[in-house]
């Protein structure tokens, strides 16, 4: 979602607190309370103009007047664009609002963003999540505070009953905006609001408490998973026989947590994986953003990156360790009695396997298709595509997992370097690492 952010940065250099200010009852009360309570810090009111309602210009203007009257500076972002084909208007508006609130907070020089969610919002979130069959993370509802990309999103009133906020607003004679979309019965939350609270007015505290229990249970499940994964997950590998020895609930808990480090795998994938795997079995599953491989009793996650288009120039003419973060491994170069002439290693290209590539394992063996050589050597599934090193003339020099191509060997009396591929033992690293060749 594109947000046409033209935030106005407040000029004072004092640290700032940002308040997400829609102009509704709750955020009006919150902004009022914050401008009265905070001293020595700038208060910045952030407003997102969704561009969806005819009155939205007037709301933004009203929010500015109120914020400035209370001594806060005011920043507004108007969203642009439209929902994608598979996106609801609400999901689009929400994603755009979140991005705009984040960007405005940063532009205001703040790292704390306050939102006016309260106990009833939390109770409604719990019911909506339960109706979708959510797990503990969904049932836990909104967190009180959460860091996201350098901004702490905090909900100081999450435990406050809605009535107490209304009472505060009335006591202080506040005026607020009534957004008519809050009454649209088309939206599940509005329907729930309209029917649940009149029927069960006292349910707010019980439901919010249930969300807290879910949050606690979620933390416990995470602690257990962390303990299990210390034993079962080594580097990028999860030990499948060890996983299968756990009780069924603990097994899927550990697997779900391991997967969540890499991908948002649906519960159905987890169930399939656990039911289809047999000791020694090899399986491959696509998952969002990558692939899962069960291979040699380990489960591996390989993120999909479009490396096919990537031709990276490398100079490996000196001994050293040359990490290739996108490939989760490194080239290791050492002096050796049999190897490749340093000059040839000075201008290499690293790429994926291509149609027609051939590899020769030993001086007296025949060159054969790379694919066959990889199969015969029992290469891990993710190494069957490379990386490969080719010299300036396009001749194959080395391949991850297979070693050096014998056709590239230097003559007996020439100085030589051995090149081999070392897989990362750590979980996938950030992609920003630079090669640390000597």
25 touching ligand ATP, by CB under 6 A: yes
Cite the annotated binding site for ATP by residue number. 22-27
22 touching ligand ATP, by CB under 6 A: yes
Sign for the CA dihedral angle at 139, 142, 146, 149 comes to positive
Q: Nearer Cβ to ligand ATP, position 121 or 357? A: 121
115 touching ligand ATP, by CB under 6 A: yes
53 touching ligand ATP, by CB under 6 A: no
Sole binder of ligand ATP in the list 24, 51, 242, 319 (CB under 6 A): 24
Interface with ligand ATP by CB under 6 A: which range of 42-50, 216-224, 325-333, 345-353?
42-50
Backbone phi, then psi, for 125, in 5-degree steps? Answer: -60, -40
Two tokens, residue 151: 């901004």
- The angle formed by the CA atoms of residues 337, 437 and 305, to the nearest 5 degrees, is 110
Sole binder of ligand ATP in the list 47, 119, 120, 385 (CB under 6 A): 47
127 touching ligand ATP, by CB under 6 A: no
Partners of residue 142 on adjacent β-strands:
none
- Is 84 in contact with 123 (CB distance < 8 Å)? no
Shortest Cβ 78–ligand ATP spacing (Å): 11
- Is 114 in contact with 30 (CB distance < 8 Å)? yes
Q: Nearer Cβ to ligand ATP, position 20 or 269? A: 20
Residues 6+ away with beta carbon under 8 Å from 11: none
Side-chain-side CA neighbours of residue 208 (13 Å): 18
Helix (H) or strand (E) holding 100: helix 89-107
Interface with ligand ATP by CB under 6 A: which range of 8-16, 43-51, 230-238, 355-363?
43-51
Shortest Cβ 136–ligand ATP spacing (Å): 23
105 touching ligand ATP, by CB under 6 A: no
121 touching ligand ATP, by CB under 6 A: yes
48 touching ligand ATP, by CB under 6 A: yes
Q: Nearer Cβ to ligand ATP, position 20 or 400? A: 20
20 touching ligand ATP, by CB under 6 A: yes
Give the torsion through C-alpha atoms of 87, 88, 89, 94, to 10 deg: -80
Q: Nearer Cβ to ligand ATP, position 182 or 245? A: 182
Interface with ligand ATP by CB under 6 A: which range of 114-122, 216-224, 280-288, 398-406?
114-122
27 touching ligand ATP, by CB under 6 A: yes
Interface with ligand ATP by CB under 6 A: which range of 16-24, 232-240, 311-319, 407-415?
16-24
26 touching ligand ATP, by CB under 6 A: yes
Q: Rounded distance, CA 105 to CA 374, Å?
A: 52
182 touching ligand ATP, by CB under 6 A: yes
Two tokens, residue 402: 């297979």
Sole binder of ligand ATP in the list 1, 46, 151, 294 (CB under 6 A): 46
Other beta carbons less than 10 A from residue 312's beta carbon: 15
Q: Nearer Cβ to ligand ATP, position 117 or 119? A: 117
Residue nearest to ligand ATP (CB): 24
Q: How far is CA 410 from CA 295, 324, 418, in A?
A: 35, 25, 10
Shortest Cβ 309–ligand ATP spacing (Å): 40
Interface with ligand ATP by CB under 6 A: which range of 113-121, 139-147, 265-273, 324-332?
113-121
116 touching ligand ATP, by CB under 6 A: yes
The structure tokens 């020099």 sit at: 397
- Is 30 in contact with 116 (CB distance < 8 Å)? yes
- Is 420 in contact with 331 (CB distance < 8 Å)? yes
Helix (H) or strand (E) holding 209: helix 203-232
Task: Tell me the site size for ligand ATP, rule CB under 6 A.
Answer: 17
391 touching ligand ATP, by CB under 6 A: no
Shortest Cβ 270–ligand ATP spacing (Å): 32
Residues 255 to 274 in contact with ligand ATP, rule: CB under 6 A? none
SS (H, E, C) 134-194: CCHHHHCCCCCEEEECCEEEECCCCCCCHHHHHHHHHHCCCCCCCCHHHHCCCCHHHHHHH
117 touching ligand ATP, by CB under 6 A: yes
Nearest to 13 by CA among 41, 39, 37, 45: 41
Shortest Cβ 316–ligand ATP spacing (Å): 53
Two tokens, residue 70: 């209370």
Two tokens, residue 355: 């149609």
Nearest to 298 by CA among 376, 384, 380, 228: 380
Two tokens, residue 361: 């394992």
Residues 72 to 101 in contact with ligand ATP, rule: CB under 6 A? 97
Partners of residue 148 on adjacent β-strands:
151
Cite the annotated binding site by residue number. 22-27
Enumerate binding residues for ligand ATP (CB under 6 A): 20-22, 24-27, 46-48, 97, 115-117, 121, 179, 182
């Amino acid at each position: 979602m594109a947000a046409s952010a033209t935030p106005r940065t407040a000029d004072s250099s004092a640290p700032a607190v940002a308040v997400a200010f829609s102009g509704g009852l709750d955020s009006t009360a919150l902004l009022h309370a914050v401008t009265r309570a905070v001293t020595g810090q700038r208060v910045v009111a952030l407003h997102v103009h969704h561009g969806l309602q005819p009155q939205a210009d007037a709301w933004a203007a009203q929010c500015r007047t109120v914020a400035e009257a209370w001594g806060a500076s005011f920043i507004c972002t108007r969203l642009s664009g439209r929902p994608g084909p598979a996106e609801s208007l609400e999901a689009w508006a929400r994603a755009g609002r979140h991005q705009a609130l984040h960007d405005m907070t940063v532009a205001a020089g703040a790292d704390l963003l306050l939102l006016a969610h309260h106990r009833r919002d939390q109770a409604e979130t719990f019911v909506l999540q339960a109706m979708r069959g959510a797990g503990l993370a969904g049932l836990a509802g909104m967190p009180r505070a959460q860091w996201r990309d350098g901004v702490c999103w905090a909900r100081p009133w999450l435990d406050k009953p809605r009535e107490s906020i209304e009472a505060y607003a009335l006591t202080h004679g506040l005026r607020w905006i009534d957004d008519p979309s809050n009454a649209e019965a088309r939206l599940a939350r509005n329907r729930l609001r309209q029917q649940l609270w009149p029927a069960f007015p006292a349910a707010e505290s019980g439901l919010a408490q249930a969300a807290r229990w879910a949050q606690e249970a979620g933390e416990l499940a995470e602690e257990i998973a962390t303990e299990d994964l210390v034993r079962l997950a080594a580097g990028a590998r999860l030990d499948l026989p060890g996983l299968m020895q756990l009780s069924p609930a603990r097994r899927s808990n550990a697997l779900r947590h391991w997967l969540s480090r890499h991908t948002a795998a649906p519960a159905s994938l987890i169930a399939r994986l656990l039911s289809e795997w047999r000791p020694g079995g090899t399986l491959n599953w696509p998952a969002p953003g990558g692939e899962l491989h069960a291979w040699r009793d380990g489960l591996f996650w390989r993120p999909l990156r479009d490396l096919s288009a990537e031709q990276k120039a490398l100079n490996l003419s000196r001994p050293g360790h040359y990490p290739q973060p996108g490939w989760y491994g490194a080239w290791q170069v050492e002096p050796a009695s049999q190897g490749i002439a340093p000059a040839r290693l000075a201008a290499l290209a690293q790429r994926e396997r291509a149609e027609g590539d051939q590899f020769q394992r030993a001086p007296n063996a025949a060159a054969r298709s790379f694919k066959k050589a990889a199969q015969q050597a029992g290469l891990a599934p993710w190494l069957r595509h490379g990386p490969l090193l080719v010299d300036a003339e396009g001749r194959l020099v080395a391949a991850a997992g297979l070693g050096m191509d014998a056709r590239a060997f230097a003559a007996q009396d020439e100085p030589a370097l051995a090149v081999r591929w070392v897989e990362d033992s750590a979980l996938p690293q950030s992609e920003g690492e630079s090669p640390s060749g000597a």
